[in-house]
Amino acid sequence: MTKIMNTNPHQKLLKTIKEIELNFPLDYNIEINKLFAELQKELTLFSTLPIDIVQRLQIIWGYRGYSMEKYFSMQGDYKRFDFYPKYKKLLAFDTLSLRKVIDRKKYYKIIFIGSGCLPLSLKLLRLNIPKVGIDISKEALSLAKKAIPKDRFGRKIIYKEGNFFDLNLNEKRPIIIYVAGLIRDKEEGLKRLAKELPKGSLMVIRTVANDERRFLYEKIDKKKLYRLGRVREFIPTKNSGIVNGMIVITLFS
C-alpha cells in the first residue's frame, strides 16, 4: 500500500530538517545523533518527497556522514563506529557477490571512488588484491591513512586525491571500480570510465535496498548500463540487516 504524505508529518519533517541545518557543520555528538534518529523515523512515513526536500536531505546527510567518519578516524578505533556492524554485514555480502562475478578471472586492483576518511568498504572487502581509495578531500585521505591498520586487508590500501569526473586511470589490465552510493551524476562518469578501462573490468555501483534513506540515492537507468557491458544486480533479503545492494557491470570494451 502506497504511503501518502499528509500535512502533519510533512511539517514535522521540515521542522526536523531545519533544526539539523541550524547545527551545521553537524559535529558528532549526542544531540545531533538524536536529531538524525528522529529524522530517520520520520522518513519511514513517506514514499516520495519533493525534489527541494531531497536536495536538502542530501546535503545534511553528506555533512553527517563526513562528521561521523572524521570523529572515529581521529579516535583511532574504527570498530567503535556506529555503523561498523552494518558495514561488516554489507561487505560480507559484497565479497560473496563479487566472487560470483569474478569466478577464476584475475583482477589487479580495486579502486573505491569516494572512499572518505573511514574507508571501511576497502578494509572489510575480503579480496586479497591491492586496493586504492580515491577522494576529493585531502583531509579525508590523511585521516584514512591513520584510521585503517596495516593488517592483512589494510596494508595493501593506498590513498590518492581525485575527482570522479576527471579521473585518468590509464589502466592496462582489468580492475574493479567501486563508486560510492551518494555520488551524483553517476551515469556520465561511468560512461566516460567505461571507454578508458580495459575489457573485462568491473564497475560496481551501490544501490539502496532496505533503507529509509532511499531518497538520497540517485536513480540509475539500468537500460543505459546494458550498453556498457554485462549487468548483474545483487539484492539482499529484507531480513538480512543489509541496507545496500549492488549492480556489477562487466565491461565489453
Residue 1 clears pLDDT 50, i.e. is over it: no
The amino acid present at 113, given as its one-letter code, is: I
Q: Where does the pLDDT of residue 71 fall: very low under 50, low under 70, confident under 90, or very high at 90 and above?
A: very high
Q: Report which of 159, 105, 150, 94 is spatially closest to residue 131, judged by C-alpha positions.
A: 159
pLDDT digit string, tens, across residues 213-227: 677 777 788 888 999
Distance CA(58)–CA(20), nearest Å, equals 12
| Distance between first and last Cα of the chain | 43
pLDDT at residue 7, rounded to an integer: 56
Q: What is the pLDDT of residues 74-96, one digit of tens each?
A: 988 889 999 999 999 999 999 99
Residue 18 has pLDDT above 90, yes or no: yes
The DSSP call for residue 226 is: T
Closest CA to 144 of 131, 157, 156: 157
pLDDT reported for residue 2: 47
User: Which structural domains are found in the chain, ordered by start?
Assistant: 7-77 (no CATH), 84-251 (3.40.50.150)
Count of CA atoms in the C-beta half-sphere (13 A) of 42:
20
Other C-beta atoms lying within 10 Å of the C-beta of residue 45? 16
- Whole-prediction pTM: 0.85
Q: How many CB atoms lie within 10 A of CB 58?
A: 16
Q: Which residue has the cell 596495516?
A: 150
Is 117 exposed, middle or buried (CB count within 10 Å of its CB: 0-12, 13-18, 19+)?
buried
Residue 212 binned pLDDT confidence (cut-offs 50, 70, 90): low
What average pLDDT does the segment 180-193 reach? 84
